[in-house]
Amino acid sequence: MDEPILIDTHCHLDLEVFDADRQAVIARARSAGVGAFLVIGFAPERWRTATALAESTPGVFATVGLHPTEAARYDDELERALLQAAGNPRVRAIGEIGLDYYWDTAPREVQREVFLRQVLLAKRLGFPFIVHQRDAAGDVIAVLREAGPPHRGVMHCFTGDLAYARACLDLGMYLGVGGVVTYKRADDVREALRWAPLDRLVLETDSPYLPPVPYRGQRNEPAYLPIVADKLAMLRGVSREEVARVTTENAVRLFGLPFDLGEGTGVEITARSIEVGEL
C-alpha cells in the first residue's frame, strides 16, 4: 500500500515570495508526499488571493479571517464581506484569528472583541477556526471560554507547554504542529506534543515562515512537512506512516476536506488514491 499522504493545514502559498516558483513549490510538496494544502487568508486582500489559488489548483483549499494585527479594520461592513468570502466552496475555515500582544498593532481590547466576534461567526457558520496566539495565551483561553466551548479549531503554531496544551484540548481545540517542534529550545513544546493525544494533532508548515531544522533562515515550503512528521513520530515512538495516517484523518474531518475516509476509524488516503484534478 502507498504511504498515507500528509496535509499542510497552514501555509501562505499566495504570498508574493512564491510568485516566481509557486507551481514548482507545490510540485515539490506533492513529490514529498503532501497531498493537500490549506492556504490562509488573513486579511481581505488575502481572501482574494487565497481563494483564487484554491479555485485554480487541485488539492488547495482556503480560509478567510482577520489576523489580530489587522483587528482595527474590523467593522460591520468588513464582517459582511467576510461572510461573503466564506461562502466560497473552497473555503474550509475562519482564520487565522486570535490575539497578538507582541506586535500590538491594535488595542488589546479591540483584538479581544474582534477575536470573539469571529469565533462566534465561525460557530454560526458551522466552520472550524484557526487561532493565532503570540504573548497572549491566557487571554486566548479566556475568550474561547467566553465564546462557549466546546470548539472546533486549531491552535496554530502551537508553542505552549503541557499546561497550555491541556487547557486548549479541554476546550475542544486541536494543536497545530510545525517546524518549531525541531527547534533546540522547544523542549516544553516537545513535552506537550509527546503527551497530547495523536488524534488531536494536525501538521502545518506556516510557509514561508518558521522553517524546520535544518532549513532555518531559509524560505519555508510545504515540501518540508515530512521533517515535522518525522520529528513527531520520533517523539511519540511511532512510525511516520502512523503520524501521517492519523493527522491526515484529523485534518479531513476537522476541515471537511473531500476525501473518502472509508468506513470505521481507519483512513484510506494514499498518494495513489488521490489523482490530481479530483480535488
pLDDT tens-digit profile of 167-202?
999 999 999 999 999 999 999 999 999 999 999 999
- For the stretch 259-268, contacts whose Cβ atoms lie closer than 8 Å and that sit 24 or more positions apart, written own/partner, are 259/36, 267/4
pLDDT tens-digit profile of 85-108?
999 999 999 999 999 999 989 999
Give the global pTM: 0.93
How many other CB atoms sit within 10 Å of the CB of residue 171?
Answer: 18
10 is in an annotated binding site: yes
Please say if the pLDDT value at position 277 is more than 70.
no
Residue 250, judged by CB atoms within 10 A of its CB (0-12, 13-18, 19+), counts as buried
- Which domains are delineated in the chain? 6-255 (3.20.20.140)
151 is in an annotated binding site: no
**Amino acid at position 169, single letter:** L
User: Mean pLDDT across the stretch 33-49?
Assistant: 97
What is the C-alpha to C-alpha distance for residues 254 and 130, in angstroms, rounded to an integer? 11
206 is in an annotated binding site: yes
What pLDDT is stored for residue 259 in this prediction? 77
What is the C-alpha to C-alpha distance for residues 146 and 81, in angstroms, rounded to an integer? 25
241 is in an annotated binding site: no
pLDDT tens-digit profile of 54-77?
999 999 999 999 999 999 999 999
